[in-house]
Amino acid sequence: MAEKLLQTTRADGSGDKKMDSSATPDLLKKIYRTMVVTRALGERAEVAQRTGKIGFYVPTLGQEASHVASTAAMEATDWIYPSYRNVGVALWRGVAIHHIVDQLFGNANDLTKGRQMPVHYSFPKGLFVSVSSPIGTQIVQATGTAMAAKIRGDRTVVSTYFGDGATSSNDFHTGMNFAGVFKAPVVFICENNHWAISVPVSGQTASATMAQKAEAYGFEGVRVDGNDALAVYAATKAAADKARAGGGPTLIETVTFRMGSHSTSDEWKRYRDAKEVEEWKKRDPIDALRRHIEKKKLWNAAEDEALWARVREELNAAFKVAEKVAAPPLETLFDDVYADLPPILREQRDSLLAERHAHQKDEGAAFPL
């Protein structure tokens, strides 16, 4: 039932042995390490934004298990349509830290050539489709890609992420309805972090849960503890397997909490009760998974300390390099749109380059006194 909350691991690290068997020891440790990198990246990026090095960042604090563990349950050939709070998805897919950091700076090494605002990543090799700012657009895009896979007869499954606020968008209805009618092999993952910027989930819907919304579209909705990495993994694996076998879509509601602000342009203390935040901190997904793998004798305090130190060192190095890289050359504005640049754009490009060349010559001249 959509009202039932699936849980496998409790805050003290103990868990359901039956559900625990769904993830191997190596997989559990990889999920944990990726969650740590995601958390540490957020901490370092916020420092960079506050010191004026980058313009913007969307923290993932408290939601790491939701998107890392769910991505771990997908196959490497599956496509992912993320939202802007899913950097852990890219990390799981093997995207190098320096590529992520370069995108935050929009420098010359940025794979998107500085054309997107920070955290709007696009990593084709990881089948990680470009993040968009408009809420919910990725839902219909993911459904379309899933239908293409079904028509082609391949075994690809598509997953897409969105917040509780996106369930109020037109794209949510359109994507869910189409997927339900045509049994598209797509896994919808609603990360219910209880707040759409300053709007609480109670102001977003009259439904008892987000998961039950799937029933109106004719398919299954599953509600899972989003801070329980094992539960998220198990629910997503089951949904992906079902979709791959022709069973159609699933809506997974990961019940989690955004422990920080919506973005670095926001201040959560203006609209949330600090007691609520403190209560959710006790359910920190990283702490819960660490305790679990420690109980299973897969991890220890020394390994944990070494991991955090190594990750922070790598992040500091990546940020130091990225901030020294120049902006993308102006002529790249004309790249990647047309295979053969139309005459009018060639003219504009040549004019821009000539103007820049003249400006550079003027800069080298003596001050005209």
Q: What is the pTM of this model?
A: 0.92
| Second CATH level (architecture) for the domain 5-322 | 3-Layer(aba) Sandwich (3.40)
Q: pLDDT, tens digit, for every residue of 51-104?
A: 999 999 999 999 999 999 999 999 999 999 999 999 999 999 999 999 999 999
What are the residue ranges spanned by the domains of the chain? 5-322, 330-363
Q: pLDDT, tens digit, for every residue of 246-274?
A: 999 999 999 999 999 999 999 999 999 99
- Which residues carry out catalysis? 258, 262, 271
Q: For every residue of the chain, which 3-state class applies, written as one string? A: CCCCEECCECCCCCECHHHHCCCCHHHHHHHHHHHHHHHHHHHHHHHHHHCCCCCCCCCCCCCHHHHHHHHHCCCCCCEEECCCCCHHHHHHCCCCHHHHHHHHHCCCCCCCCCCCCCCCCCEHHHCECCCCCCCCHHHHHHHHHHHHHHHHCCCCCEEEEEEHHHHHCHHHHHHHHHHHHHCCCEEEEEEECCEECCEEHHHCCCCCCCHHHHHHHCCEEEEEECCCHHHHHHHHHHHHHHHHCCCCCEEEEEECCCCCCCCCCCCHHHCCCHHHHHHHHCCCHHHHHHHHHHHCCCCCHHHHHHHHHHHHHHHHHHHHHHCCCCCCCHHHHHCCCCCCCCHHHHHHHHHHHHHHHHHHHHHCCCCCC
Q: pLDDT, tens digit, for every residue of 172-208?
A: 999 999 999 999 999 999 999 999 999 999 999 999 9
